[in-house]
Amino acid sequence: MKVEPGRVGPYARAAWRWLRLLPPRQRRGLRVFYGHDRVPGPGEPVAGGSAKFQRLASRFPNDPTGFTVLYLGSTWLPRDLGPLLALAKRRSVPVVVNIDGVAYPGWAGERTEELNEPYRRALRSAAHVLYQSDFSKSSADEFLGAPPGTWEVLHNAVDVNHFTPAAQQPPAEGPVLLLGGDQTQAYRLELGLRTFARVLVSEPYARLLVTGRLVSPAEPLIDELGLRGRVELVGRYSQREAPDIMRRAHVLLHTKVQDPCPSVVIEAMSCGLPVVYPASGGTVELVGEEAGIGVRHPTGWERDKPPAPEELAAAVLRVLDDRPRYSEAARSRAVDNFDLGPWLERHGELFNDLLVKRQRR
């Protein structure tokens, strides 16, 4: 009977993969496995770690059974992580781990150690670690420990030929703010709505676009703040749809504190959107001094303390007053620092270097 992996569930696909993995085979050349039997194809909605793998798989296709490199991401680890790491060790397959963020008490509470354990297990098995930002490196050192092998900082990347500015400026009836990505922590949505309410005092025709998954309902706070008709809940979107959504806006309002390396920020900058954000985490490294305004706030591992809404609103208004300059700087910074091409080339160099070292053993 012929089994079609695309028509069965993830557990059945994994079982079928292990049946094909167990017989030893001679493996040659560069074959990359991302730990999951299926990587989202071009145009499919993605979130967090899966977006990186979608981009990587366009250059280095996913090979679940004949792989010679195992590439894992901390935000998209497989359920069968332990057996996969054991198999890679037994077959001398180099493991590359891409580290985004870690769990810390400020958001994970008592589950901090439980959540960090698989990250630590992957890190300790890595021949090479890619940290998505300097902040990712320092936080991983704090909670996971130092890497056993080589490492580097490699920020996320964006297809600057796909994420491009609008041919014309967004409609001028009033400024449009974008709360992009997924709102995976309740405070992010609340802070965005309260900030927007204060922007409306000075910009009464402003609008807010809210994208992605919501972990808390928006309507009660929208009604409480009198924002009905001014806020559009866009929902989830694919990478193909993302540029058109971003081109509708004038400013990206990014409310997550201590964000390790948010792809939505570099995607927005590539579309010419300045960024207003809490000045912490890897976002500071992405935006720099010229592509937006970071608002200072208390930082630490024990508790997340975002900036006050009025402070973020004041930063939004400052950016809007000088938007052409900020917009041009955002686009230039994305093109100069976060282009997808060099990011893919660096992965190719790394994979080949690891295979050469493996052959020399």
- Co-location of 145 and 189 in the same domain: no
Name 198's Cβ contacts closer than 8 Å, sequence gap at least 6.
309, 310, 313
- The answer to whether the CB of 161 falls within 8 A of the CB of 113 is no
CATH number at residue 48: 3.40.50
Same domain, 325 and 181: yes
Contacts of 106 (CB under 8 A, 6+ apart): 258, 300, 301, 302, 303, 304
Boundaries of domain holding 33: 26-157+339-360
Reported as type and span, the H/E element at residue 151 is: strand 150-153
Quickly tell me which residue has 């001398």 as its tokens.
Answer: 92
Residue 285 inside a domain? The answer is: yes
Query: Residue 309 falls within a domain, yes or no?
Result: yes
Output the six-digit token pair for 314: 């004041």
Task: Specify the pLDDT at position 24.
Answer: 58
Residue 163 lies in a domain: no
The reply to whether 88 and 142 lie within a common domain is yes
Q: Does 318 lie in the same domain as 355?
A: no
355 in any annotated domain: yes
**CA atoms within 13 A of residue 105's CA, in its CB half-sphere:** 7
Domains in the chain, number = 2
Asked if residue 346 and residue 229 are part of one domain, the reply reads: no
pLDDT of residue 20: 62
Q: CA nearest 239: which of 214, 278, 266, 209?
A: 266
State residue 130 phi and psi, 5-degree precision: -105, 115
195 with 296, same domain?
yes
Instruction: Give this prediction's pTM.
Output: 0.90
CATH of the domain at 327: 3.40.50.2000
What separation in angstroms does the CA of 277 have from each of 132, 138, 254? 18, 20, 5
b/e burial code for range 1-28 (CB count within 10 A of at least 16 → b): eeeeeeeeeeeebbebbeeebeeeeeee
Is the same domain home to 75 and 188? no
If asked whether residues 135 and 223 sit together in one domain, one would say: no
What is the C-alpha separation between 184 and 187, in angstroms, rounded?
A: 9
The 10 Å CB-count burial string (b at 16+, else e) for 72-92 is bbbbbbbebbeebbebbeeee
Same domain for 191 and 129?
Answer: no
Q: What is the pLDDT of residue 1?
A: 39
Note whether 297 and 253 are same-domain residues. Answer: yes
Residue 44 lies in a domain: yes
* Helices 309-321/186-202 angle, 10° precision: 50
Nearest Cα residue to 265 out of 330, 326, 183: 330
Shared-domain flag, residues 222 and 107: no
Together in a domain, 144 and 213: no
Task: Tell me whether residue 20 is in a domain.
Answer: no
Looking at the chain, list the stretches that DSSP marks H as alpha helix, in order from N- to C-terminal side.
10-21, 49-59, 81-90, 105-108, 112-124, 134-143, 186-202, 219-224, 242-246, 263-270, 283-287, 309-321, 323-337, 340-360
CA distances in angstroms from 162 to 62, 159, 327, listed in the order given: 23, 5, 17
- Has residue 10 been placed in a domain? no
In a domain, 34, yes or no: yes
pLDDT at 25: 60
**Residue 96: what are its φ and ψ, rounded to 5°?**
-110, 130
Residue 182: other Cβ atoms inside 10 A: 16
Q: Kindly give the confidence (pLDDT) of every residue in the chain, 361 residues in length, as a single tens digit, with 9 standing for 90 and above.
A: 344 544 456 666 666 565 566 655 656 799 999 999 999 887 777 766 678 899 999 999 999 999 999 999 999 999 999 999 999 999 999 999 999 999 999 999 999 999 999 999 999 999 999 999 999 999 999 999 999 999 999 999 999 999 999 887 666 678 999 999 889 889 999 999 999 999 999 999 999 999 988 988 999 999 999 999 999 999 988 888 999 999 999 999 999 999 999 999 999 999 999 999 999 999 999 999 999 999 999 999 999 999 999 999 999 999 999 999 999 999 999 999 999 999 999 999 999 999 998 887 6
Secondary structure of 334-349 as H, E, C letters: HHHHCEHHHHHHHHHH
